[in-house]
A and B are shown apart, each in its own frame.
Chain A
Amino acid sequence: MKGLLIKDFRFIFKGKRMAVRLLAIALFLLFLQGIENCAFIITYITMVAGMMVLGTISSDEYDKSNAFLMTMPIDRDLYAKEKYVFSFACSLAGWLFATVLCTALQAGHWEEVLAQAAVIFLILSLFQFTILPVQLKFGGDNGRMVLVGIMAVIMVAALLLEKGLQILLPGVEPEELYLRVTEWVKAQNIWAIGIILCAVWLACLGISLAISKRIMQKKEF
């Protein structure tokens, strides 16, 4: 796996200019949104960092170098696993950078920032677990089209959920519902919640990785 990671990191370092541009956009947006909007900046930087894996998959597909990779001392399962490790490493680096930045800027509310950052990381991880198999299955442009479709489905599902909640809980505003959920979470044992979230995260990772491995096993080059 070390060789594959070296390959992917050296590939993304070729796009230094792009990384600087993305960072500049992040800082500009931070300035625009105000430093109190940490959730946005953490989400943006973590997501952009995590998305770098898509560039490596597209690039492997684009010049068919993945066929050559499969002749090297790796197997298809390892290729899939490496994409998860790479994606996790990039997301984590972006998340750490953004979280440290936001915590420093809002030193007075550091606990709140950290809690937000943790939730954002978990949610974005779930997003990564969805897009990785899609990208491995459909590759570059087709994969992006499928992702747009998935995003559309998620948005429709969220709208339907909101409508459903309005019917089930008439008169309760979304903000109020959010507060109620927050209060309920605060009333629970924080360790128990943490363990449940970790278990769900690991289960999602396991399912996503199993799907990706299966996709790679079936792939022809």
Chain B
Amino acid sequence: MLLKLDHVQKQYKDFRLDCSFQVEEGCVTGVIGANGAGKSTAFKAILGLIKTDGGRIEILGKDQKEVTAHDKESIGVVLAENTFNSMLTAGDAIKVMRAMYHRFDKGRFLNKCEQYGIPLKKQIKDFSTGMKAKFKLLVAMSYGARLLILDEPTVGLDSVTREELLDEMREFMEQEGRAILISSHISSDLEGLCDDLYFIQGGSILFHEDTDVILSDYATLKVDVEQYQKLDKSHIMYQQRRPFGYELLTREKQFYKDNYPGIVMEKGTIDSLMAMAAKGEAL
């Protein structure tokens, strides 16, 4: 296991984080939730950028408080808002990286910069949103990290650029012993990339599920009041009142398919899960 959070807590004036999750070797684990759900706070806690009020974080098999500068060379990071000082250029960043990371692969980094059209002499502040996002990810993947921690790496990008970055992440995962923790509120990115997903809301993990299971076993049922009253609700996770009756989320799609053939059923998606978890009533 490359990362484990055990009831990590952080109290702010009007927000409380209390979450547990883990990232296994060889896995891409996604954290999904609405803005303000606690994704960035959890990531900052993992990276030691904020002090926690309780709980335990284990990273690369060590307590986070014991992580050394040497250990940090095995962790690649993309933060949603920050990267190098924006007055610097990619060329400056190369010099800094060479001095900081023993395994910095300058040749590969330069090739990737050329491939993605990242200028070496332009100041980072003048980069476009897409350019900056690509640059941040290439930096994180330039020194042979085992664990990538990516906070909203695709936010604000067009679909072509997003797909390019997702391909980079897939290529990163081709080597054994690696893992990615990624947060996003763009569900399609996570559906095609993640092995498992954690849903975070109000600072807590609502539930954890394998992506394949979400896509194969989950479904949204749309029923009128009469159908609702007759329905076996033992496999319903969330329900929400709608003008036509009820919208219900189940993890047992096949059960309802077999026993209630007349019911309108939509395939489970991360978006439908998020929406129901955020607004629905848990059963």
Interface residues of A (CB under 8 A from B): 2-4, 6-7, 10-11, 14, 59-60, 63-65, 67-68, 70-75, 78, 220-221
Contacts and interface: CB of A to CB of B under 8 A. Distances in A.
B49 A220 contact: yes
A63 B51 CA distance: 21
Contacts, number: 78
11 contacts: A3-B97, A3-B100, A7-B85, A11-B85, A11-B87, A63-B82, A65-B83, A67-B44, A71-B77, A72-B100, A75-B69
Interface stretch (B16-24, B88-96, B173-181, B207-215): B88-96
A59 B85 contact: yes
Report the interface size class on chain B: 20 to 34
A221 B49 contact: yes
Nearest to B67: A75
B47 interface: yes
Contacts of A221: 44, 49-50
Nearest to B76: A71
B81 interface: yes
A6 B96 contact: yes
A112 to B, nearest CB: 41
Given A7-B85, A65-B83, A73-B100, 17 more contacts: A2-B99, A3-B96, A6-B95, A6-B99, A7-B88, A7-B92, A14-B87, A14-B123, A63-B85, A64-B82, A68-B79, A71-B72, A72-B72, A73-B101, A220-B49, A220-B51, A221-B49
A70 B92 CA distance: 18
Of listed B44, B85, B88, B101, residue having the most chain A CB within 10 A: B85
A74 B67 CA distance: 11
Given A73-B72, A74-B100, A221-B44, A11 B88 contact: yes
Interface string B106-143: 00000000000000000101000000000000000000
Contacts of A78: 69
B44 to A, nearest CB: 7
Contacts of B72: 71-74
B70 interface: yes
Contacts of B100: 2-3, 72-74
A220 B51 CA distance: 7
B270 interface: no
Given A11-B87, A74-B69, A220-B51, A65 B99 contact: no
Chief secondary structure at chain A's binding surface: helix
Contacts of B81: 64, 67
B152 to A, nearest CB: 14
B150 to A, nearest CB: 12
Interface in B15-51: 44, 47-51
B75 interface: yes
B224 interface: no
A16 to B, nearest CB: 12
Contact of B95 (A10, A64, A75): A10
Given A6-B95, A6-B96, A7-B96, A71 B85 contact: no
Contacts of B44: 67, 221
B86 interface: yes
Nearest to A67: B82
B170 to A, nearest CB: 23
A216 to B, nearest CB: 12
A18 B123 CA distance: 18
Nearest to A76: B48
B83 A68 contact: yes
B255 interface: no
B70 A70 contact: no
A4 B97 CA distance: 10
B167 to A, nearest CB: 24
B84 interface: yes
Nearest to B84: A65
A14 B87 CA distance: 8
B73 A68 contact: no
B69 A73 contact: yes
A218 B195 CA distance: 36
Nearest to A78: B69
Contacts of A64: 81-82
Contacts of B73: 73
